[in-house]
Amino acid sequence: MNKEQYIADMKQRVFNANLALPKEDLIKLTWGNVSEVNRELGVIVIKPSGVSYDTMRVEDMVVTDLQGAPIKENSLNPSSDIVTHAVLYQNFEGVNAIVHTHSTNAVKWAQARRDIPAYGTTHADTFYGPVPCTRQLTQTEIERAYELETGNVIVETFRDRNIDPLACPAVIVYGHGPFVWGKNTEVAVQNSVVLDEVATMALGTEELKTNIDPIDKYLLDKHYYRKHGENAYYGQS
């Protein structure tokens, strides 16, 4: 397959994944984006900035380099979050697609400045431990390079807390919202659906009982590793 055809296929996958966000009730208006990277070709494909999902076309998907700069001068502007996506691709090996939304219940945790605790097995099936909330960006960081520093603070959070981004494929940015990823666009969207569901479940759990402990590690391990890793046995081979 030549480069042009591969990029065309990337555009179709990114387009389809972006259309899935409103269908899954993860976004309203234009509050979200999906991207895919191909490091060998040196390209990222992402949704254009501010374009309605009702009028968006496959050919509107924007191709950028690995730093997030559009490759074609006559293309639409890429999502304003492209630089954040680029930072994550540069630092998280094995991440090939990223979803950013302002999904309601995940944002509630971001605005509360709290990790989403791993209270049960639904959470443990996808996220190995709490979904982390980043620290607050400083005024200097925001004014200097907001989207770049958003990516940097996500990377910092995973590095400083020794979290494997493939074992916990999501983060909530302080006061902002979730970034979620996966090995491809389909998995990244699926992980975004799961994230908002477990955020909802955690909120309900805390309404029913205060001072609850996270799930026991042995149960967390069982549910996570039966779906992930070399000894996984969930689903069909």
List residues with catalytic annotation. 125, 234
Q: How far apart are CA 3 and CA 54, in angstroms?
A: 29
Q: Which two tokens stand for residue 3?
A: 């480069």
69's CB contacts (< 8 A; 6+ apart) are none
Helix (H, G, I), strand (E, B) or coil at 177: strand
Distances (CA, A) of 106 to 10, 173, 178, 211: 28, 10, 6, 20
β 177-182/170-173 pair status: antiparallel
Nearest to 181 by CA among 68, 117, 118, 100: 100
Distances (CA, A) of 194 to 216, 226, 228: 20, 17, 15
Distances (CA, A) of 32 to 17, 98, 179, 192, 217: 11, 11, 10, 11, 33
> What are the DSSP E strand ranges found in the chain?
32-38, 43-46, 62-64, 97-101, 170-173, 177-182
